[in-house]
Amino acid sequence: MPGWKTLFPVDLAEEGRLSRREFGRFMALVATGFSAGIGYLALRKRPLDGAPEPAAVPVEVKVCRAEELTPGNSFLFTYRNPQDRCILINTRQGWRAYRQTCTHLGCAVRWDGKGLECPCHNGYFEVERGFPIQGPPTRPLSRLAVELRADGWLWVRGDLPKPGPEAA
Amino acid sequence: MVSAEYGFFIDPQRCIGCRSCVAACAECGTHRGHSMIHLDELDRSASTQTGPTVCMHCEDPICAMSCPADAIKRSEDGVVHASQKPRCIACQNCELSCPFGVPIVFSGLEQMLKCDLCYDRTSLGQRPMCATVCPSQALLFAPRHEVAGQRANRPLREFLIGSLVVKTRNAIMVPDPETPMNLDAGLLCEGGL
């Protein structure tokens, strides 16, 4: 019997029939696929989601001299690359550094003397921890660790962990 | 499922050309409004003889084998069904290949429909529409053993097209069923084959 006749049988009863051998072949193929996928993940040695990016390795950046940033003022800088715009604020209680990217739609937030405002949709973040207190943003700003070193320069040392829900 | 004991017998000699079958066929639930029966005047200038053509339900259906879309299927009881709507591409291969000229591709439907032996009725034990109305029983749906002794003509279920042998589920009643009927179109030409 020609091959096409078994593939396209005239009889209704033959239509969609799966032989034991074909079924076994299909199952073997599926099993191989799963094993290969799991094996790949195992060799990768880390899960697909939540893997730390290479860029998350702390980078220390010299920002500005401490006495140049008087209380109540801010200083703009870039952290890892020219697109990574950040803002350093002297809040009388201490220094705070945030990414300027608003957590709503990514406009640049700016320091207005009391908090960080986003001009696009009137979002507003308090300056202590970067939590949103007004407007559409629901997540806090991405915060960086600041350190005053003995030479009188302010350094940014890396990302601070994102605050969990209990911190709010 | 249609009982294997029941056969469909076409006896053109008994046909009186009343067209009841044509009208009844259009009432069938599986293709309502479209008649699948071809009723032909055989030689209009010389005779009043007419002949009904319904699907012969071949054992190796040529229409199904010529279908590029795998749309024509035969059920276990040997009934060749009309094309499956999702598959039929209205290419007319079946129309051209059928040695009996049965399938019709309806241009409005873009689908081939053919006699399916009134499957909605025969699968429940009823007779096909045409056989119920035929006044001379030129179209007969009956147990095979009953027909055997009742008619002068006897059932023929084997046909020749050139060298191709076509065996069918339905039968044509002929005086001499021992000789397979040759349906080759070349015979229509002057001088035969």
Instruction: Find the DSSP H helices in B56-164.
Output: 62-66, 93-97, 119-122, 129-133, 144-148
Residue A168 — pLDDT band, cuts 50, 70, 90? very low
For residues B125 and B142, the answer to whether their CB atoms sit within 8 Å is: no
pLDDT in tens, B104-157: 999 889 999 999 999 999 999 999 999 999 999 999 999 999 987 888 889 999
E strands, chain A, are 61-65, 74-78, 85-90, 95-99, 110-111, 115-118, 123-126, 132-134, 143-148, 153-159
Residues of A with CB under 8 A from a CB of B: 8, 10-13, 15
Residue B85 — pLDDT band, cuts 50, 70, 90? very high
CB within 8 Å of B90: residues ≥ 6 apart = B105, B107, B109, B110, B111, B112
Looking at the complex, report in whole angstroms how far the Cα of residue B75 sits from the nearest Cα belonging to chain A: 5
Q: From the list B60, B64, B76, which residue is nearest A13 (CB)? A: B76
Using alpha carbons only, what angle is made at residue A152 by residues A151 and A156, rounded to the nearest 5 degrees? 95
Nearest chain A residue to B71 by CA: give it: A10
CB within 8 Å of A33: residues ≥ 6 apart = none
Looking at the complex, report in whole angstroms how far the Cα of residue A30 sits from the nearest Cα belonging to chain B: 28
Q: φ, ψ for residue A17 (rounded to 5)?
A: -70, 135
Tell me which chain A residues have a C-beta less than 8 angstroms from the C-beta of B70. Answer: 8
Q: What is the pLDDT of residue B136?
A: 95
CB–CB contact A12 B72 (8 Å): no
State the DSSP H helix or E strand holding residue B131, giving kind and residue range, or none if neither.
Answer: helix B129-133
Map tokens 């009863």 to a residue: A13
What would the mean pLDDT of A92-105 be, rounded to a whole number?
A: 90
Tokens of A45: 């040695």
- At the topology level, CATH places domain B6-188 in Alpha-Beta Plaits (3.30.70)
CB within 8 Å of A50: residues ≥ 6 apart = none
pTM of the full predicted structure?
0.60
CB-based burial label for A98 (10 Å; 0-12, 13-18, 19+): buried
Tell me which chain A residues have a C-beta less than 8 angstroms from the C-beta of B75. Answer: 11-13
Q: Give Rg (Cα) of chain A.
A: 28
Using alpha carbons only, what angle is made at residue B100 by residues B95 and B106, rounded to the nearest 5 degrees? 30
Domain spans of chain B? 6-188
Using alpha carbons only, what angle is made at residue B147 by residues B146 and B152, rounded to the nearest 5 degrees? 140
Q: What is the pLDDT of residue A60?
A: 84
pLDDT in tens, B148-192: 788 888 999 999 888 889 999 999 999 888 877 888 877 777 776
For residues B148 and B172, the answer to whether their CB atoms sit within 8 Å is: no
What is the rounded CA–CA span in Å between residue B25 and residue B38?
Answer: 10
E strands, chain B, are 6-10, 38-41, 50-53, 104-106, 111-113, 139-143, 154-161, 164-174, 181-182
Residue A25 has pLDDT above 70, yes or no: yes
